[in-house]
Amino acid sequence: MVSRIILILICFIALRAEASVCPPLNPLPKSVRIFPDLAGYWFLDGKLAFGCEVTYVNGGKRRTPGYLNGNLPWRELQCSSEQATQHGDCWYVDLYKVRQNNNTLVIYAQHRDNASTKTSFEIKIPPIQSVEVVLPENTKPRYGKSIEPIVHLEWANGVGYSYKASNVRSLVPRDSVALYYNNERSYDGQIVLPEFSISERKTFSLSALWVTKPWLNDVEVFPFQGSAHTTWKFKLPDGADGRKQLSSPRGMDGVEGFHGMPGMDAPEVTLSLTMSPDGARIVAEANNGRIGYRKEFKPEEFSLEIIARGGNGGDGGRGGDGGAAPFDDPEKAGIGGQGGRGGRGGIGAKLTIQSTPETESFIPCVVIDNSDGLPGKPGEGGRGGTFGGAYGMPTLFEMIFPSRNYDGEPGDE
């Protein structure tokens, strides 16, 4: 009997030891997928965020930490690429090798414990879609001064990137974009404007094109801005806002809000450019029948901006609130009234320029903003009326949290 007990104890200890040596097996990996950040700037800055997802035979899935915010340790995977080096959830890409490989980055991944569980992912540098050249905000292109144009690029994956053409640290290789002042190429991105000459044209052009796809380009024409640059505003009143409607009586729907008034149409503006009798000054006069301006400029200092926009439309008024349910019909609360329409924007001014042969060449130095006014905002819908309780007497809960009918819709656009 004692020997039998000893034998049972030995077997029990052996089973416990075997259990401690052989832990339960993890589920086998079935497949692995790569998830790169395709909407990022990797083809510019050489940094590509990515992650991997492993699917197991039992249907479970685990993702890597970092970019995919998972809990699968990176040590369980083996990732490689001939065009990049991995560091955690980021690839540091050698863009030169990518371009040499037909603009394609190839990433491989496999499970360390199961070499047959592997995959690859090819990522192509997205094609360039548009090129635009602009001047920095508040730049004054004056005679004899220097300017530094900005190039804005957009790619097919939605990424946009702007940089000064003179910036040697730009993420875009300098030889990718060609910048021109008139017909002369600028290699350093810094352009010195010429001194004033009465016989030269008073505008200049900037052009930018993607060198390998020259049909992707932009050409913009800018007027020179004189040191006496002047702005004349022909301001008009905006349309009045619609009033808010009053609440409706019990059981009645709210009334539609008052509409905003339209903005005023801008009257025609006439601008005349003439030379003073001694030929030393340009005389500019503008009038719209209500407001008039006059000023004399030295030719080298002349540039003029005329703002003659239409008036903005007034905002629509708020719809009236629906009436509360009557005492004898607690379920007949009124619906909130629709908001009023916003008023239309006024039409911008027509502008007529009269000049003499001596001043005709200065017409491009006049910048005109005669856009239409902005439309008013639609009014808000009124609130729905409150429902009553049984027999017209609300409960305590209904008094604290009153049940309401539908609110009104906003006004039409």
Q: 266-275, pLDDT tens digit by residue?
A: 999 999 999 9
| pLDDT interval class at 413 (50, 70, 90) | confident
Is the pLDDT score of 18 beyond 60?
no
Is the pLDDT score of 126 beyond 70?
yes
Closest CA to 81 of 46, 116, 55: 46
Under a CB-based contact definition with an 8 Å cutoff, are residues 47 and 74 in contact? Answer: no
Task: Give 51: exposed, middle or buried? Use CB within 10 Å, 0-12, 13-18, 19+.
Answer: buried
| Model-wide pTM > 0.85 | no
Under a CB-based contact definition with an 8 Å cutoff, are residues 364 and 202 in contact? Answer: yes
pLDDT (tens digit, 9 = 90+) per residue, 345-404?
A: 999 999 999 999 999 999 999 999 999 999 999 999 999 888 876 555 556 655 566 677
Closest CA to 28 of 70, 76, 65: 76
Angle at the Cα of 408 from the Cα atoms of 405 and 410, rounded to 5 degrees: 155
CA distances, 411 to each of 169, 214, 228, 329, 380 (Å)? 51, 48, 46, 30, 7
H or E stretch covering 10: helix 2-21
Please tell me the total number of residues recorded for the chain in this structure: 413
Q: Rounded to whole angstroms, how far apart are CA atoms 387 and 138? A: 58
H or E stretch covering 18: helix 2-21
What percent of the chain lies above the pLDDT cut of 70? 90
The segment(s) of the chain belonging to CATH 2.60.40 are: 128-223
In CATH, 128-223 is 2.60.40: yes
pLDDT (tens digit, 9 = 90+) per residue, 256-306?
A: 999 999 999 999 999 999 999 998 999 999 999 999 999 999 999 999 999
Is the pLDDT score of 333 beyond 90?
no
- Three-class SS state of 14: helix
Q: Please give the mean pLDDT across all residues of the chain.
A: 89
DSSP state of 176: G
SS3 content of the chain, % helix, strand, coil (to 5): 15, 35, 55
Beta-strand (E) ranges in 182-226?
184-186, 191-192, 203-210, 213-223
The DSSP bridge pattern shows strands 191-192 and 184-186 to be unpaired
The pLDDT of 37-41, averaged and rounded, is 91
Q: What is the pLDDT of residue 389?
A: 62
Closest CA to 338 of 392, 301, 382, 375: 382
Under a CB-based contact definition with an 8 Å cutoff, are residues 305 and 238 in contact? Answer: no
The pLDDT of 137-160, averaged and rounded, is 93
How are strands ordered across the β-sheet holding 77-80? 77-80, 104-111, 114-124
| pLDDT interval class at 93 (50, 70, 90) | very high
| pLDDT interval class at 69 (50, 70, 90) | very high
The pLDDT of 86-90, averaged and rounded, is 94
Under a CB-based contact definition with an 8 Å cutoff, are residues 50 and 108 in contact? Answer: no
Closest CA to 156 of 189, 128, 185, 187: 128
Compute the CA torsion angle 193, 194, 200, 203 (nearest 10 deg): 10
| pLDDT interval class at 24 (50, 70, 90) | very low
CA distances, 22 to each of 15, 18, 223 (Å)? 11, 6, 82
pLDDT (tens digit, 9 = 90+) per residue, 195-243?
A: 998 888 899 999 999 999 999 999 999 999 999 999 999 999 999 999 9
Q: Which bin fits 175, alpha (ψ -120 to 50), beta or left (φ > 0)?
A: alpha
Q: What are the DSSP calls for 335-377, one per residue?
A: PPPPPPPPPPPPPPPPEEEEE-TTTGGGGGGEEEE-PPPPPPP
262-283: buried (b, 16+ CB within 10 Å) or exposed (e) per residue?
bbbbbbebbbbbebeeeeebbb
- The CB-side HSE value for 289 (13 A sphere, CA atoms) comes to 8
Angle at the Cα of 219 from the Cα atoms of 215 and 223, rounded to 5 degrees: 175
